[in-house]
Amino acid sequence: MPSAALAVAAVPLAISAGCIAEGAPTAPAESSGAATASARAPSGPVDPPIDAPFEDDFERPDLGPDWLALSPAWRIESGRLCGRGARNRGVWLKRVLPDAARIEVTAIAGSDEGDLKLELWGDGRSGASGATYDHATGYLAILGGWRNQRHVLARLDEHGDDRLELTVDPSGEDLRRRPVVAGRPLRFVVERRDGRTLRWEVDGVIVHEMIDDQPLRGPGHDHLGFNDWEAPVCFDDLRIEPQGARAD
């Protein structure tokens, strides 16, 4: 895989209550799904905040008390958090994210369909209740979505016209447009240092960068989750590190 020295610079895009899409076409509904309703887990005790580096290597037999799975599709397999066929009913970390954080995780696709998905600064309890998922509660970073055709960063709606999108180009020279390869570990890094600028890298290459003038933060926008439609996916070696004070 290319090193960080080969990272391709991205131009920050300012958004107001959404983001500016990079030539985003109308997305088909069959792959990463999009919801007219959300499935919400019952509210419970207040989750503890992440005020120091948090790590999870998933080296245990069960998910454990730090995770809330909205589907039985999620389980620990060989020291990884894995899912298949969750249909946008994800698994949430029961810890409160700071407004500014650096999130690192290794993502592995189990097939050439890709569909590696993170939910960022969401509510920690919602997922799709039907076949569609256009009412998410946070940002969505999707690598190889729609059967490995698109890399998308979206705000609340992964099918929205305001999403950031790159079309996969297996034969091109743009490192940001590489397809997901089954079995190949990819290191995701998502940073929001000032509370509003969201930057997503994969193996040191900037995929998308967004400046949200109305950032999602605070109660209801303060959790991390992993998600999946049909393809088999796994996640490993999670690290979350607070990155300073919240922006005004």
Please state, in angstroms and rounded to a whole number, the distance separating the CA atoms of residues 119 and 111: 21
Sequence-distant (≥ 6) Cβ neighbours of residue 172 within 8 angstroms: none
Q: Are 152 and 158 in contact (CB under 8 A)?
A: yes
On average, the pLDDT of the chain sits at 85
Q: Cβ distance 2 to 170 under 8 Å?
A: no
Give the model's confidence band at 168: pLDDT under 50 very low, under 70 low, under 90 confident, else very high: very high
Q: Tell me how far apart the alpha carbons of residues 186 and 248 are, in angstroms, rounded to a whole number.
A: 33
CA quadruple 116, 199, 104, 42: dihedral sign = negative
Q: Which residue has the higher pLDDT, 74 or 34?
A: 74
CATH topology of domain 4-22+50-242: Jelly Rolls (2.60.120)
Residue 212, burial from CB neighbour count under 10 angstroms (0-12, 13-18, 19+): buried
pLDDT per residue as tens digits for the range 19-40:
333 333 333 333 333 333 345 5
**Band of the pLDDT at 43, cuts 50, 70, 90?**
low
Q: Is the pLDDT of residue 245 over 60?
A: no
Pairing of strands 205-212, 13-15: parallel
What is the pLDDT confidence band of residue 106, given thresholds at 50, 70 and 90?
very high
The answer to whether the beta carbons of residues 138 and 108 sit under 8 Å apart is no
Per-residue pLDDT of 199-226, as tens digits, reads 999 999 999 999 999 999 999 999 999 9
Asked whether the predicted pLDDT for residue 180 surpasses 50, the reply is yes
> What is each CA distance from 125 to 40, 42, 67, 220, 235, in whole angstroms?
5, 8, 10, 9, 19
- The full set of domain ranges for the chain reads 4-22+50-242
Q: Record the pTM.
A: 0.82
What residues have CB less than 8 Å from 33, skipping those under 6 apart?
A: 87, 88, 128, 131, 132, 133, 158, 229
The pLDDT of residue 44 is 63
